[in-house]
Structure 1
Amino acid sequence: MAQIARPDWHLIMDGRYNKGLAFTIEERQRLGIMGLMPCSVRSIEDQLDAARANFDARPSNISRFTYLSAVHHRHRRLYYRFVRDNIEQVLPIVYTPTVGDVVATYGLNFQHATSLFISIHDKGHIRDVMHNWIDEGVRAICVTDGGRVLGLGDMGANAMGISLGKMVLYTALGGIPPTSLMPVCLDVGTDNQSLLDDPLYVGARIPRVRGPEYEELVEEFMESAVKCFGNYTFIHFEDFATPNALKFLDKYQYKYCCFNDDIQGTGATGLAAFINVERITGLKLEDTIFVFVGAGSAALGIANMLIIELEERGIPSEEAAKNVYLFDANGLMTCESKDVPEQAKRYLKPVEPIKQLQDVVEKLKPSVLVGATGVGGIFNEQVLKTMAKNHERPAVFALSNPTSSSECTAEQAYTHTEGRVLFGSGSPFPPVVINGKRFTPAQANNCLTFPGIALAAITTRAKYLPNSVFSVASHELARNTTQKQLDAGTLFPAIKDAHEVAFNVGVAMAQYLFDNDLANIYPKPKNVCEFVRKSLYELEYRNSMPTTWCYPEQPPKPKAKPKPQPKAEDDEK
């Protein structure tokens, strides 16, 4: 039998390259995989139909997540195409609310390495751990320490499910190549006793490490990331407890190309909603009274982004916060409040303390009520009816995830305001019918912003990301909400258009970064939109064969000249 050099079929079937039944017959023959699958050939559209049938047949959201994870492992490009094309159905599976169940059962479902765990025991050796990563050319990292996951609290190493979910949307919506992404969990233990008692828990079974040792680990992580992957590596902080989130953002924002989605991503998304509320009601933001219920990273992120916007409009810094109030578990935050986070102090007011939210809404008459508490049902019937009594078009945002932690449901918001509310939620809710009129709740989902933010930071190799760049993202997101949607009381673009919105946000931010000398690409592209577009990950199959090309026919080989014969020796000699 002839000796034939064949490619390694394990590599061909690797999820990064595998096309399954979309390999043509010629590709199968030349790649040495003929016979390893049935003889039928499917297009990517056929495969998408098969994936959709499998997805729909699964009996629960967690089983749909497991199925999609298997597709991701086997068929990387098909997976991202499926997520993008079916984002309305898939987003609740790969992101909130199902990701909360994924995090809670992470140890039960852990199967194979798709992420990087760095434990407190690796301190001093983080670069060695990073060198073990499975892909080269990392451009972006999403890192969590699991300190505060959704409404679940401290989830330790299980929080990796959140980093993985973010990375999925980087590619499916932002078009960022998956091989350039690295999800990371800093495992510093957990104070969640139920996890420590769980025999299937995958993390370090120690109390959560705090103080200098913890901060030294984070510092080593940041230094190691840029040493391993370059100075312009984009580092996305996710689900750190509020004090740590604020501390690290303040420490690293202008030293690294970094971003905190819970603060800045949520802030950009929230500001976009406020801009659209202004467009609908005609009431200027500087004249609007806001009450934020909750004083964590999400509420402070949105409030701070609002202040940046007001200052951009010429409102003096000392006046910008005068109509912004915070309400936490202890009641309305006043100058007498104790243990107030540094970033919240600008919002303290010299007023009498008020303990009940209903009384705050009655007295202050806010036209915008923002909930980021993780306390389900706190916007009760009385609170919502008071909002509707005081304003023709009250705006209510129930931002907490998962759905069970939402401050109110869409049905409650529309029912108790006679359908007049401008509503946004962190989790998806079905349409609501009030007096024969159908209302489609807007989802205030960070997936409309952070994929575009990452796309801009990566493609421009941003030096750092100042607060002003997130204002650019907010205005672009607001512009992507059509007038028809605004007329229907919808404050955000439809989730089905999220990949187009992410691209538009990315282009607007990239333009700002280039125009303000915050990019490290030289020379500046003449057409930033096309420059960003050319960087996108293609969600179509490509030829699996190496490129071939024709050579001209070679001229005939010249005949070798006869070798000279040695002369015959003289016989006389």
Structure 2
Amino acid sequence: MNAPSRTTASAPEHLTGYDLLRNPRLNKGTSFTQTERRALGLEGLLPPAVLSTELQVARRHDEISSLDDDLQKYLVLSDLQARNETLYYAVLMSDPAAYMPIVYTPTVGEACQKFGHIFRQPRGIYLPISARGRVKELLSNWPDKDVRFLVVTDGERILGLGDLGAGGMGIPIGKLSLCTACAGVPPQNCLPVVLDVGTNNQALLDDPLYLGLRQGRVRGDEYMAFVEEFVAAVQQLYPKCCIQWEDFGNINAVPILERYRNEICTFNDDIQGTAGVALAGILASLRITKQKITDQRFLFLGAGSAATGIAELISQAMAGAGMDIDEARRRNALFDLNGLLVTSRKDVADFQRPFVQDRSPISTFLEAVRTLKPTGIIGVSGVPKLFTREVIETMAELNRRPIIFPYSNPTSRSEATAEEVYRWSDGRAIFASGSPFPPVELDGRKLVPNQGNNVYIFPAMAMAIFATEAKRVTEDMFLTAAQAIAEQVSEENLAAGLIYPPRERIFSASLHVAERVAARIFEQGLARVPQPDDVGALIRSSVYRPVYPV
């Protein structure tokens, strides 16, 4: 069954004149024709010239490219989104590689830090814990009633920046913009949400411009009851909605995912999305090293939910290649501020236990590299510069092509820069970071750093879920997504050291991943719509295009 192509809705007859120009979903700005201007009471309210969408995009591009400050570019785009949604997405989709770092990481991190100081107009739903018992009432104030994809944060662990409270709203807004720009998920079916349970960031509490609750974070049973009320309200109001959890602290991220993953359509992008993009990078890397997944050993710097999520998906991929699952998990070791996670430690959380090593304690990361001899190291610590020169040089001694992924976001939190990793490994490292780095010149070669950003995963996942109306999200769907990403890396890309599809091709790459994931959803019997003869046609017919209505 193919759904009709989704584009911007037509303007209702009763909305005219100034009100029409102030409706971001219906406003065409200078693209309103002379006939439309006469019929809709717009004459005199616009300059006389009628411009095509292409000229409007060019004008915005000229404006943005003339700015030196990325936060200013972010604000220009945010204002455009609030004024003319179709043009906003037309701009993003005209050059996704250029605009992704502005709309999302790394610029969104600064935007979240300064959220109260740059706030212009509200977007999304703010649910303070002070409204317990009324969450459904607040959610129902959202004007669009067919929400299919919802991104929610409680602002506790925003990227690698920590507790930003209500300022974390920038993350759901940015993520959903990319769901549309990179995979065509219709924006009218998306909803950004913040669960405001307070903040422990004293600087925010002391800031008169802070926009959230002025109280410490609520924990424990009261917190979980609030989350439970939120999930129940979403299910009642939006029964076809998928909930994507974003930037929750480890203390809550893992229990929330375990509580709901088998009951509703939901996933945690920091745990599962990060795992998918990491595995995709590893699978492509193995085409460069000519090795098998079962030959690999990985050491993680950071032992939180992101690390264990990646480690588990790698283990599942190893098991799929014939390895015993317990042996696969032993090949993924975790290292945190107290050292390597080993059996003698008393501070191991339940979600970390599958990856605990049965060996003597190791207190430094360099020693752990020398002892475990990993083929790859993955940084998800949120602490910069921990992949030291000695660590990188040791990895290069142990491996002809070491896999080195400093994944922490934003750029300021990366465990190492691209230039450091390339220089210290004599240009032999297979590198991927969470945020973008510029190309590196080394011995006459131009090395282009890979960005292992979740943008390769969550927009495609959102589109697959949207098109199939999936009932659940499974780990196997992330395995499928990782494989679908890796298979799009051409031999030419690999020869240039690239392990992800070029960001200029993110839209077509996302639709390919969405098609593969959607097919898996049908295979698992998790779709709410009948299975079509052509799953790709279903995906393509579901795509939003930034085209003004006629």
5 Å-filtered alignment, 1:287-326, equals 287-326=295-334
C-alpha change, 1:436 and 1:5, in structure 2 (3 Å) is: closer
Moved more, 329-338 or 310-319: 310-319
Contact 2:150/2:243, CA 8 A, preserved across alignment: yes
Partner of 1:528: 535
How far residue 541 of structure 1 moved from its aligned partner, in angstroms, is: 2.3
How far residue 8 of structure 1 moved from its aligned partner, in angstroms, is: 4.9
The answer to whether residue 64 in structure 2 is matched with residue 55 in structure 1 is yes
Aligned mates of 2:165, 2:511 — CA distance in 1? 33
Aligned mates of 1:401, 1:158 — CA distance in 2? 17
How far residue 324 of structure 1 moved from its aligned partner, in angstroms, is: 1.4
- SS of the aligned residue for 1:427 comes to coil
Aligned partner (choices 82, 95, 102) of residue 91 of structure 2: 82
Aligned mates of 2:14, 2:268 — CA distance in 1? 50
Q: Which runs of 5+ in 2 are unaligned?
A: 1-12
Contact 1:428/1:443, CA 8 A, preserved across alignment: yes
Cα displacement string for residues 295-322 of structure 1 (whole angstroms, at most 9, x for unaligned residues): 1121111111111112222222222112
- SS of the aligned residue for 1:497 comes to helix
Paired letter, 1:53: D
Aligned mates of 1:420, 1:85 — CA distance in 2? 34
Aligned partner (choices 176, 183, 207) of residue 185 of structure 2: 176
How far residue 13 of structure 1 moved from its aligned partner, in angstroms, is: 4.1
Cα displacement string for residues 520-539 of structure 1 (whole angstroms, at most 9, x for unaligned residues): 112x1111111111111112
5 Å-filtered alignment, 1:64-79, equals 64-79=73-88
Paired letter, 1:223: A
Moved more, 39-48 or 216-225: 39-48
Partner of 2:440: 432
C-alpha change, 1:240 and 1:315, in structure 2 (3 Å) is: same
5 Å-filtered alignment, 1:126-525, equals 126-230=135-239, 232-522=240-530, 524-525=531-532
Paired letter, 1:31: L
The answer to whether residue 105 in structure 2 is matched with residue 96 in structure 1 is yes
Moved more, 101-110 or 7-16: 7-16
Aligned mates of 2:284, 2:543 — CA distance in 1? 29
Cα displacement string for residues 407-437 of structure 1 (whole angstroms, at most 9, x for unaligned residues): 0000001101111110000010000010000
Aligned mates of 1:44, 1:339 — CA distance in 2? 58
Contact 2:402/2:428, CA 8 A, preserved across alignment: yes
Aligned partner (choices 26, 31, 37) of residue 35 of structure 2: 26
Aligned mates of 2:14, 2:429 — CA distance in 1? 68
How far residue 349 of structure 1 moved from its aligned partner, in angstroms, is: 1.2
Paired letter, 1:476: A
Aligned mates of 2:369, 2:536 — CA distance in 1? 45
- SS of the aligned residue for 1:14 comes to coil
How far residue 59 of structure 1 moved from its aligned partner, in angstroms, is: 3.0
Aligned mates of 2:204, 2:131 — CA distance in 1? 21
Structure with larger Rg: 1
- SS of the aligned residue for 1:291 comes to strand
Aligned partner (choices 113, 116, 128) of residue 125 of structure 2: 116
Q: TM-score, normalised by structure 2?
A: 0.96
Partner of 2:24: 15
Q: Which runs of 5+ in 1 are unaligned?
A: 544-573
Paired letter, 1:193: Q
- SS of the aligned residue for 1:143 comes to strand
Aligned mates of 2:440, 2:502 — CA distance in 1? 16
Aligned mates of 1:457, 1:6 — CA distance in 2? 33
- SS of the aligned residue for 2:130 comes to helix
How far residue 155 of structure 1 moved from its aligned partner, in angstroms, is: 1.2
Cα displacement string for residues 327-357 of structure 1 (whole angstroms, at most 9, x for unaligned residues): 1111111111222121211111111111111
Paired letter, 2:486: A
C-alpha change, 1:30 and 1:336, in structure 2 (3 Å) is: same
How far residue 93 of structure 1 moved from its aligned partner, in angstroms, is: 1.1
Partner of 1:553: none
How far residue 12 of structure 1 moved from its aligned partner, in angstroms, is: 4.8
CA RMSD of aligned residues (A): 1.3
Percent pairwise identity: 39
Aligned mates of 2:203, 2:47 — CA distance in 1? 47
Aligned partner (choices 46, 49, 54) of residue 37 of structure 1: 46
Moved more, 295-304 or 219-228: 295-304
- SS of the aligned residue for 1:321 comes to helix
What stretches of structure 1 move > 6 A for 4+ residues in a row? Answer: none
Paired letter, 1:322: R
Contact 2:254/2:305, CA 8 A, preserved across alignment: yes
How far residue 6 of structure 1 moved from its aligned partner, in angstroms, is: 8.2
- SS of the aligned residue for 2:377 comes to strand
How many residues align? The count is: 538
Contact 1:440/1:490, CA 8 A, preserved across alignment: yes
How far residue 136 of structure 1 moved from its aligned partner, in angstroms, is: 2.4
Contact 2:155/2:163, CA 8 A, preserved across alignment: yes
Aligned mates of 2:323, 2:358 — CA distance in 1? 21
Contact 2:145/2:237, CA 8 A, preserved across alignment: no
Paired letter, 1:500: S
Contact 1:275/1:478, CA 8 A, preserved across alignment: yes
C-alpha change, 1:6 and 1:288, in structure 2 (3 Å) is: closer
Contact 2:340/2:363, CA 8 A, preserved across alignment: yes
Partner of 2:8: none
Cα displacement string for residues 58-106 of structure 1 (whole angstroms, at most 9, x for unaligned residues): 2311111111111111111111111122222211111111111001000
Aligned mates of 1:8, 1:220 — CA distance in 2? 41
